[in-house]
Amino acid sequence: MTVEVQVTPEQIQAVADTVQVHKFGGSSLADAYCYRRVARIVTEYAGASDLVVVSAAGDTTNRILAIIDAQADDLGIAEVLLRQLQKYQQGLITELLNGDLQEQLLAQSSHDFARWWGWLRGDEVITHRPELLSYGELWSARLLAALLQQQGIQAAAIDARDFLIADDAPEPHIRVPVSRAGLLNRIAPHPGTRFIVTGFICSDPTGRSLILGRNGSDYSATLIGSLVDAKQVTIWKDVAGVYSADPRKVERVVSLPLLDWHEAEELARLGSPVLHPRTFQPVNRERMVIAVRSSLKVENQQTRIGQYDDTEPKGKVLTSLADVVLFRINLSDAQLVQQFEELELVPLISWNEIAQHHAYYAYHQNHLEYLERWLEQVDKTDQVVQMQGYSMIALVGNRIQETTQYSTFKTELSAQNLRRLAFSPDNNAVIAILEQKLDNRLLNRLHSQLFNYRRSLGVLVVGRGNIGSAWLALYRRLQERINEQMDVRILGILNSTRMWLDYHGLELDDWEASFDTFARPYELSQLIPELPNAGCDELVMLDLTDSAEVAQLYPSFFANGVHIISANKRAGASRESQYHEIRTIQREYEREWYYNTTVGAGLPLNYTINDLINSGDTIRSISGIFSGTMSWLFENFNEEVKFSDLVREAKQRGLTEPDPRADLTGQDIIRKLLILAREIGLTLDWQDIQVESLLPEQLRGISYEEFMQRLPELDEPMQQLYLEAQQQGKVPRLLASFAVQPDDSVEARVGIEFIPAGDMLANLIPGENIFVIYTDWYHEMPLVISGPGAGKEVTAGGVQSDLNQLLSHLSNRHKG
């Protein structure tokens, strides 16, 4: 059979220069939605003259095989299955097409199915299985071409049997020159048309259908690519390329940007499901590149398989097989040894054990049937001992023997039931056969040891006031140490109106000047859903503001995968309903939330409480002086000074809230009390706390300026208070407390109490906080934590302590 090339050498060259091949498998075409996505990719990512190779839609090939089987056994079942197939195929047509195109394709489809029904009833004879199988690919090529046409794209379907000619064999032998001429004659005269070609099928010289083997469409694609001398074949999959290990078994795998032909071939040979071994056969290795790319997430990394000069020794992929069979033969049977050596199916590895006179051949379980049939044919079944229950783990990469990864691999596996460890013939893999089940934990451990993959944490700093600046200074000092566990990057610094953002990480030298230059207006609610684009493994937001708006967005941060560290008390002390929502979403999205500095600034309060609870203790009550401001005011107060003067001085020293009334009403203390109570698991809300405010009624609804003017109105009542206490030999203090009652209810209050003058609570350093904690274990004497409860250095340090805790949590979570 000959076919003359009818196009000019220039046209052929133009095809080689411009045409690329794209391949879509059945799962990419499973339903109408998938078809539309493929059509979009073909429009946007394929050139105007590219070839698109398709498999049968969804599981059509399996359905056809089931119908063929049923036709021999049970006609009733076969009819049901055929009706379902017809409904599925015609459903796709009616869903995707309209008007004339729909009518036309439905007519063709009805004609096809009329033949099928004829075949099923025995009227029309299609005895040839491959012909039935071919329909799957024919239907998908036709439908995709029509869908593109409907969208105004020039496209046409080609049945590969019209040009791809082969001689029948278990793996058909392609007649390259005729096939090449046939294809070029068909496409070269039509630049600007996207041709949709059936994968999987070809034809013998007499026109009988042949198939290229299960999952043969990848092979069709590289074959067709090589016929037109294409530079690139893109295999679109539902995964983003080739990974460092099977993502179904191993966590934290990475997609590999480049693979060498040898590495890809070795991977395929070792049974990795990425590409069929035959895919590589027809490839002109100097010219072609195979790209493996995600059709679900086109923006993701792709893997390019080609001829790369990078011959650096490096292990790239950890691959494994759960079921491996060993065949043991006697070395003295020279004929059988010879037969094994010549067998087309190459074993995973083979070796001799001279002392026992044995040779071993390891194969994947999938090939067992083929091997048993072969042994019967050569009449050697009795000479072979089959051994089950083995697994394989291999590390694939160029010149593996020279890598340090090899010794890691060897050391780790020697501790297992290792049956054999050896290199592949070309030194592109080290292969271990284990006499045990495949263990995913072992795979995970090996993977992280071999690739020493450093995970990254992106940090968003919200608030660049006192604490923000102090923390950034601290971070810069500790940067090296912080980066030991993870690759930590500051992604952005935000104040209330502007942000300076860079997903590659901010350069923090002279950051204040850079902020002034680069910061832009922003909308926090819009920024949050964008953050995952930073490409970090983990994200954390440091809320160093006192902003209710930021606190309100916590659920949105969590839902977008962001952990939170708060110095801001507002979320932790929000109304119970909002607090509940924040906690629910945090739990649902498995995010971390640390807020150690919201109570007692840097004092290790939350840490101590949690440690006690986790160790089996129960907290009964916490009381004390929770506010540095109030501590300062009262420790300096006596009958000789005016309270209003103290308030004014505290304000000047920056010790109060911007409006001191937030301190005098006890608001700030209530917040801390709520946070502590919730920390130990109590359900408490604002109205549950008895509050005795120091602020007289008449000073409440007025402006800040007026309040500051009328401050002396505080003096009279405060003076009274002081004298009243003095008469009892005591001093007044603003205390906060909550206690779990015997009936499990909670009593919580914030108010003035008279304390004996010699008591610890009456003798603090001005500004000092004190927390008195009673528990089951600390019930005769309380556990007391005291120290400065405010200040930018200690608070920044507390934020850093939270960050350290997050880092160790994240790195532990991904070990082993």
Which stretches of the chain bind ligand ASP, using CB under 6 A?
A: 25-26, 55-56, 61, 136, 199-200, 214-217
Name which of ligand ASP, Mg ion, none residue 215 binds, using a CB cut-off of 5 to 8 Å depending on partner kind: ligand ASP
Name which of ligand ASP, Mg ion, none residue 200 binds, using a CB cut-off of 5 to 8 Å depending on partner kind: ligand ASP
194-198 and 51-54 strand pairing: parallel
Tokens at residue 383, please? 């000479």
- Name which of 56 and 202 has its Cβ closer to ligand ASP: 56
The CB-of-217 to ligand ASP minimum distance in angstroms stands at: 3
Tokens at residue 533, please? 């684009």
Name which of ligand ASP, Mg ion, none residue 28 binds, using a CB cut-off of 5 to 8 Å depending on partner kind: none
Name which of Mg ion, ligand ASP, none residue 600 binds, using a CB cut-off of 5 to 8 Å depending on partner kind: Mg ion
- Name which of 217 and 667 has its Cβ closer to ligand ASP: 217
Per the CB < 8 A criterion, the answer to whether 715 and 644 are in contact is: yes
- Indicate the DSSP class of residue 46: S
- Name which of 596 and 627 has its Cβ closer to Mg ion: 596
Per the CB < 8 A criterion, the answer to whether 460 and 495 are in contact is: no
- Name which of 250 and 680 has its Cβ closer to Mg ion: 680
Nearest residue to 126 via CA among 142, 114, 136? 114
Name which of Mg ion, ligand ASP, none residue 605 binds, using a CB cut-off of 5 to 8 Å depending on partner kind: Mg ion
Q: Helix (H, G, I), strand (E, B), or coil: what is residue 488?
A: strand
- Rounded Cα distance, 492 and 479, in Å: 16
- Name which of 443 and 605 has its Cβ closer to Mg ion: 605
Q: What is the DSSP string of 395-439?
A: EE-TTGGGSHHHHHHHHHHHTS-EEEEEE-TTSSEEEEEESS---
Nearest residue to 198 via CA among 235, 161, 230, 236? 161
- Name which of 55 and 255 has its Cβ closer to ligand ASP: 55
Per the CB < 8 A criterion, the answer to whether 398 and 265 are in contact is: no
Q: Which residues are catalytic?
A: 672
- Name which of 247 and 797 has its Cβ closer to Mg ion: 797
Per-residue binding letters, 577-616, with Mg ion (x by CB under 5 A): -------------------x---x--x-x-----------
Total site size for Mg ion, rule CB under 5 A: 4
Name which of Mg ion, ligand ASP, none residue 637 binds, using a CB cut-off of 5 to 8 Å depending on partner kind: none
Q: Which residues pair with 461 in a beta bridge?
A: 493, 542
The CB-of-108 to ligand ASP minimum distance in angstroms stands at: 19
Per the CB < 8 A criterion, the answer to whether 234 and 186 are in contact is: no
Check residue 773 for interaction with Mg ion (CB under 5 A).
no
538-543 and 562-566 strand pairing: parallel
- Name which of 223 and 664 has its Cβ closer to ligand ASP: 223
Tokens at residue 183, please? 């294809």
Check residue 565 for interaction with Mg ion (CB under 5 A).
no
The CB-of-797 to Mg ion minimum distance in angstroms stands at: 10
Per the CB < 8 A criterion, the answer to whether 69 and 45 are in contact is: no
The CB-of-85 to ligand ASP minimum distance in angstroms stands at: 14
In the bound complex, which residue of the shown chain has the CB atom lying closest to Mg ion? 600
Q: Cβ of 134: how many Cβ atoms within 10 Å? A: 24
The CB-of-205 to ligand ASP minimum distance in angstroms stands at: 23
The CB-of-49 to ligand ASP minimum distance in angstroms stands at: 24
Name which of ligand ASP, Mg ion, none residue 596 binds, using a CB cut-off of 5 to 8 Å depending on partner kind: Mg ion
Nearest residue to 587 via CA among 619, 554, 617? 554
Check residue 566 for interaction with Mg ion (CB under 5 A).
no
Q: Helix (H, G, I), strand (E, B), or coil: what is residue 479?
A: helix
Name which of Mg ion, ligand ASP, none residue 397 binds, using a CB cut-off of 5 to 8 Å depending on partner kind: none
The CB-of-692 to Mg ion minimum distance in angstroms stands at: 25
The CB-of-211 to ligand ASP minimum distance in angstroms stands at: 8
- Rounded Cα distance, 16 and 469, in Å: 60
Sign of CA dihedral 224, 227, 228, 232: positive
Q: Considering only CA atoms, give the Rg of the chain.
A: 37
Q: Where are the beta strands (DSSP E) in 225-300?
A: 232-237, 258-260, 289-294
Q: Interface residues with Mg ion (CB under 5 A)?
A: 596, 600, 603, 605
